[in-house]
Amino acid sequence: MTTPYTLPNMLTAVRIALIPVIVGLFYLPYGFGDVAAGLLFMVAGITDSLDGYVARRTGQVSPLGEFLDPVADKLIVATALVLIVSRNPTWYVTLTAAVIIGREIAISALREWMAEIGARRKVAVSAVGKFKTVAQIVGLTMMLYYQDLFGLPIYWMGLVLTVLAATLTLWSMLGYLRAAWPDLMGKTPQNRG
């Protein structure tokens, strides 16, 4: 039996533990709260890359880690989007958040269903999905950071990246649905009965 107390699992747990801290910093009535929330979200994004890399590199891949990692990702991204919409509830920010959160729910359900029928590999993470994740983490970090930096409009640059991430989200979702379509329509040999 493997221990759940591996470095990758601890990194994932830290990412989950950072969620209430980011929320608290976001609502501080001081300008540094935004900066701190953005920087802490960036740290969480880095742990997202690190935990998987460390797990594969050290052979510490575990069922707990495989479960917790995507849960932590979705929780922290959804929390960041809700915080950002609470500050700027314009139609374009709200729609971007709804697209990203909606896609995550749909793809999570699709992956769960595909795993049940033994076809999980058909909806494995794609290169577009990885690029989307990078754009999303950087964009959300900038939007949470909120303050201009060296005269650059950090929030608006982050919004552009987050909209790009939402577009890539839809694109990758279409790819996953295309790969799963025969199974969804019952046209694969295992479903013909």
Inside any domain, residue 100: yes
Q: Is residue 190 pLDDT above 70, yes or no?
A: no
The CATH number of whichever domain residue 80 belongs to comes to 1.20.120
- Domain of 16? 7-181
**Is the pLDDT score of 192 beyond 50?**
no
Q: Which two tokens stand for residue 138?
A: 């950087």
Q: Is 58 exposed, middle or buried (0-12, 13-18, 19+ CB in 10 A)?
A: exposed
- Summarize the confidence of residues 163-180 as an average pLDDT: 86
Q: What is the pLDDT of residue 178?
A: 80
Domain count, the chain: 1
- Average pLDDT of every residue of the chain: 86
Residue 109 lies in a domain: yes
Please indicate, yes or no, if residue 88 is contained in any of the structural domains.
Answer: yes
32 belongs to a structural domain = yes
pLDDT at residue 83, rounded to an integer: 97
Residue 68 has pLDDT above 90, yes or no: no
118 within a domain of the structure (yes/no): yes
| 159 within a domain of the structure (yes/no) | yes
Share of the chain above pLDDT 70, in %: 91
User: Does some domain include residue 193?
Assistant: no
Task: Quick: pLDDT tens for 136-145.
Answer: 999 999 999 9
Residue 72 domain-assigned (yes or no): yes
pLDDT digits (tens, 9 = 90+) for 73-132: 999 999 999 999 999 999 999 999 999 999 989 888 887 777 777 666 666 666 777 888
Nearest to 111 by CA among 190, 48, 179, 60: 179
Q: Where are the alpha helices (DSSP H) in the chain?
A: 7-26, 31-58, 63-87, 91-116, 127-145, 154-184, 189-192
Q: Which tokens go with 174?
A: 């279409």
